[in-house]
Amino acid sequence: MKKIGLIILTLPFMLASVFGQDEQFLDKKGRVVLPESGDWALGFNAVPIFTFIGNTFNGSTSNNHMGNDKFAGFTENTILGKYFLSDKKAIRVNFRFGVHNKNVTNDIVNDFLNNPDSLVLDRAKFKTSNFNLGLGHEWRLGKGRLQGVVGGEVFFQYTSSVKSQFEYGNAFAAGNVTPLTTLWDPSGFAITANSVGERILSSKGGGKCGFGARLFAGVEYFVAPKISLGAEFGWYLGYSQQSKSTVTYERWSTLDNASYEVTREKSGNKYFDADTDNFGGGIYLIFHFQ
């Protein structure tokens, strides 16, 4: 009787313990499909993969419609990492660090020789960098392969200005006060060549630094054990400040009969943004492991 009474007394606690635990979701081979407490995860943008697959079936024509948006806003081009505190909760980190250098040239006609086959070289150097860091917390909903994800995060961003330097094959001279010069776009591509009375020699400054917070909601579908495809949408508040910038130009002085430099300064700016993000259709691929 004492044993029966002990069983009756402990049964409610045993049942509560059993039903209070999340049941593991297994595939047909008995493998755990969903993330578990203690799991790590690594995610990245999956759009280039789908673009490659699409190109395979359409003669290597770029699928621009799918590739137009690749994580708009803060999460653009970042690596996503997660650590699961429990089966339903995880901390997450977004990280990006990039340095971009570009040295480009453009052949143009020599002003001093009356020969279209005589060319000189214009050179341009461009340098910029990006740094993003975000830290957040997410909660998961659902018990099957389709999981809902909600949460929030704070972030910091820094984007340097495009620092540039230029050299030209056609020099300013008394007989050539408007030399033929390459005109470059901000991304470093030659647009055209024109005869100009003023041209840029260098630029610097204008970097942008910002921080903010973001709420997000999304879905993930586990296509295989611990491998998921997901889409996420967010709403963010952000503040950023852009530093002043300077641009140095070259001109010709008819008074001194020589070229000279002039530097112009542009004031910095401040921005406050509140908007939704990633409605262009970014998709990410996440791998979970322990």
Residue 15: inside a domain: no
By three-state DSSP, how is residue 224 classified?
Answer: strand
Residue 13: inside a domain: no
Residue 114: inside a domain: yes
Residue 12: inside a domain: no
First vs last C-alpha separation in the chain: 47
Per-residue pLDDT of the chain (290 residues; tens, 9 = 90+): 455 444 444 434 443 344 344 567 887 888 899 999 999 999 987 655 545 444 555 554 544 444 333 333 445 567 889 999 999 999 999 998 999 999 999 999 999 997 889 999 999 999 999 999 999 999 999 989 999 999 999 999 998 888 999 999 999 999 899 999 999 987 788 999 999 999 999 999 889 999 999 999 999 999 999 999 998 888 989 999 999 999 999 999 999 999 999 999 999 999 999 988 764 456 788 999 98
Residue 50 domain boundaries: 38-289
Tokens linked to 123: 């050179």
Number of domains in the chain: 1
What is the reported pLDDT for 69?
A: 37
Residue 23: inside a domain: no
Residue 5: inside a domain: no
What is the reported pLDDT for 55?
A: 53
Residue 22: inside a domain: no
Residue type, 254: T
Residue 92: inside a domain: yes
Decide: 237 and 215 in contact? Cβ < 8 Å: no
Give, in order, the Cα–Cα distances in Å from 143 to each of 15, 23, 75, 84, 228: 20, 8, 27, 16, 14
Q: HSE (CB half, 13 Å, CA atoms) of 241?
A: 2
Q: HSE (CB half, 13 Å, CA atoms) of 216?
A: 30
